[in-house]
Chains A and B, each alone.
Chain A
Amino acid sequence: MIKEVAFVAIAVSDKERARKFYQETLELKPTTAAMEGAWVEYDLGPTTIGVGCHPDWKPSRDGTTVAFEVDDIDATIAQLKERGVSFDMEKIETPVCWRRNSAILMAINWSCISANRPNEMMSQENRKGKQIPASSFKIFFLLP
């Protein structure tokens, strides 16, 4: 019935602030933009992230979230901190990640208030025999 993830849609409340965050802080390259920038797509491997701004669709700290895969988690964390991104959860290592010498962290947008979370998340595992590096960071997009 389901073939793949078509895209992941992220709600934002301020399209200009979101554009800066995704394009300057996270250095993602936009692939398409529509509705005067109220919908911007970023291709990431086989999947697309769509960042949308609409009054009936609000950002949320809760609910579905997306993990981004990076090569060097420590360098990424340092860069995000330099760029003023506040972290919802600091880097953690799970037993799975640790064996793979990597870790996951969660971050939230620079404009958000941080909340502390217990260190409980898991990592990416082998998929279909492909070795996927398990270092990821996870971002909660919450644009008040």
Chain B
Amino acid sequence: MKIKGIGFVAIPVTDVKRARSFYEEVLNLKVSDEMMSGKWIEYSVGDETLAIANVIPNWTPSDQGTGAALEVENFAEAIQRLKDRDIRFAAEPFETPCCHMAVVQDPDGNKLIIHKLKPENEKGECV
């Protein structure tokens, strides 16, 4: 068995239009593909693909379980942008020895970690 990498990370949503405005207008992600008559939208995020989906009735959003951590360019700016748009925070910004993090929720409640690794010269011991 050889797992080579991540194929994609998929996030179930109930309302694609509402979810798209969050992922595209708030998070500023760029659409890389649209499939299944717009029920499966993919975004290129670095080398990976993030997808939002409304394709299977018994696969619903959740504020528990797996969550994607998104690396931002500028942590303070990203937090400000999310606050300005009244995005829900499940965890306010906090700091670890090696990074800054906050947890936000998409319109369906799915959690996303906003993450910024500290530069090498400011980093403490990571896990």
Interface centre among B5, B35, B49, B50 (most CB of A within 10 A): B5
For A121, the chain B residues whose CB sits under 8 A away are 55-56
For B7, the chain A residues whose CB sits under 8 A away are 67-69, 104, 123-124, 132, 134, 136, 138
Smallest CB gap from A35: residue in B: B127
Would you call A4 and B48 a contact (CB within 8 A)? yes
Q: Which A22-46 residues have C-beta < 8 A from chain B?
A: 26-28, 32-35, 39, 41, 44-46
Known: A33-B127, A45-B47, A49-B6. 18 other contacts (CB 8 A): A4-B45, A4-B47, A5-B6, A5-B45, A7-B69, A8-B68, A10-B65, A41-B127, A44-B4, A45-B5, A47-B6, A47-B47, A62-B61, A64-B111, A69-B6, A71-B4, A124-B7, A127-B49
A138 to B62, CA, bound (A): 17
Interface size on B, residues (CB 8 A): 59
Tell whether B117 is near chain A: CB-to-CB under 8 Å. yes
Smallest CB gap from B112: residue in A: A64
Residues of B within 8 A of A (CB): 1-12, 27-29, 32-33, 35-36, 40, 42, 44-51, 55-74, 77-78, 81, 110-111, 113, 115, 117, 126-127
Q: Which A55-111 residues have C-beta < 8 A from chain B?
A: 57-71, 75-76, 79-80, 96, 104
Smallest CB gap from B4: residue in A: A69
Given contacts A4-B47, A5-B70, A122-B35, contact A136 B65 (CB under 8 A): no
Given contacts A63-B12, A64-B68, contact A122 B36 (CB under 8 A): yes
